[in-house]
């Protein structure tokens, strides 16, 4: 089932991300990039680059022979994502710290698109990416609804449908689904700019993270119990819950492997971006991304071994 060695693929992806973080760090340290630019970069990422990446992920051929697996992927993806949110809410319900929203977000949302998609492509090829796109649909809906409600409670006020319609990423999901389900051809003149903008996703997120680190005292963050709570829940508890859920529903094979591995990825890179945008603890957001990414060198191969045992 696996098309490559997960250990080496994971190590390579993690190294690439750390090198990009290093570039952002050095750019600020050597005054090539102003530290305040991270807010402008964050706005660019959220409003243009992420929507482009989402639309681009749906511009692929539809295969009716795997429709049943697509439906199963949709149901299991929704199940594990909601379970992850439930874990985050349950373990922080008594917390009264002002950064609780950021902590809940970091626990709930994985780095599925930035780190997970390259892994899935290397391991399972085009079919795996199709299942990953289905997971990504529910991931994006959840991150731009429940995720935004967690980070910005004011966003839930007023007309909920109107507020959702203002989210560029959710509009991108709607456009992407229309393109995919309708198999609407997109001219190369339009498809190529969308693809190029979407490809900026990972490097721009990592540059922002590096810029935050350059102006942060991460040693203080590492000593924080809040960071370790995030790491234990994000990197151990939620993957275990996802594995048990797939076992309980009899979801094995490629579908189960894709869903579990995507949910077992480190904290979403956009966590540090939202820490800037919504003015939470930027050091905690960057620390969660960097520390969980480093831990994924060990945790993702372990998840892969469990997936192989599950069959």
**Measured between alpha carbons, how far is 252 from 264 in angstroms, rounded to an integer?**
16
Question: Mean pLDDT, to the nearest integer, of 6-16?
Answer: 73
**Measured between alpha carbons, how far is 77 from 246 in angstroms, rounded to an integer?**
10
Give the three-class secondary structure for 33.
coil
How far CA 229 is from CA of 77, 111, 137, in Å, comes to 24, 17, 27
Would you mind telling me the total number of residues written for the chain in this entry? 311
54: pLDDT strictly greater than 70: yes
pLDDT at position 48 is: 92
Give the pLDDT confidence of 55-106 residue by residue, as tens digits.
Answer: 888 887 777 766 678 888 999 999 999 999 999 999 999 998 899 999 999 9
pLDDT at position 189 is: 96
- Does this model's pTM top 0.85? My answer is no
Question: Mean pLDDT, to the nearest integer, of 129-153?
Answer: 86
Of the candidates 271, 5, 277, which has an alpha carbon nearest to the alpha carbon of residue 119? 5
Question: Mean pLDDT, to the nearest integer, of 283-306?
Answer: 85
Residue 227 near residue 221 (C-beta atoms within 8 A): yes
| Cα atoms in the Cβ-side hemisphere of radius 13 Å centred on 188 | 0
Residue 203 near residue 18 (C-beta atoms within 8 A): no
Residue 17 near residue 206 (C-beta atoms within 8 A): yes
């Amino acid at each position: 089932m696996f098309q490559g060695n997960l250990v080496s693929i994971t190590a390579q992806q993690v190294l690439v991300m750390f090198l990009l973080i290093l570039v952002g760090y050095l750019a600020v340290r050597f005054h090539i990039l102003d530290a305040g630019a991270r807010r402008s970069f964050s706005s660019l990422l959220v409003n243009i680059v992420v929507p482009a990446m989402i639309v681009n992920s749906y511009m692929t051929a539809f295969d009716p022979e795997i429709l049943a697996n697509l439906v199963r992927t949709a149901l299991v993806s929704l199940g594990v994502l909601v379970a992850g949110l439930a874990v985050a809410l349950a373990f922080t319900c008594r917390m009264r710290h002002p950064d609780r929203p950021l902590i809940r977000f970091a626990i709930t949302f994985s780095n599925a698109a930035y780190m997970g998609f390259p892994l899935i492509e290397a391991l399972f090829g085009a079919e795996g990416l199709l299942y990953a796109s289905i997971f990504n649909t529910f991931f994006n809906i959840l991150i731009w609804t429940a995720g935004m409600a967690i980070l910005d409670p004011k966003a839930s006020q007023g007309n909920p449908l109107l507020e959702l319609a203002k989210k560029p990423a959710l509009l991108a999901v709607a456009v992407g689904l229309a393109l995919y389900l309708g198999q609407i051809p997109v001219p190369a003149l339009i498809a190529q700019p969308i693809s190029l903008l979407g490809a900026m996703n990972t490097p721009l997120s990592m540059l922002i993270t590096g810029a935050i680190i350059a102006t942060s005292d991460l040693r203080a963050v590492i000593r924080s119990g809040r960071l370790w709570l995030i790491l234990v829940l994000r990197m151990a508890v939620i993957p275990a819950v996802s594995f048990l859920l797939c076992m309980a529903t009899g979801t094995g094979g490629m579908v189960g492997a894709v869903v579990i591995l995507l949910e077992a990825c480190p904290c979403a890179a956009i966590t540090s971006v939202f820490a800037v945008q919504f003015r939470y603890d930027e050091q905690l957001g960057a620390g969660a991304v960097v520390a969980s990414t480093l831990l994924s060198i060990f945790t993702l191969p372990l998840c892969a071994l469990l997936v192989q045992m599950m069959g």
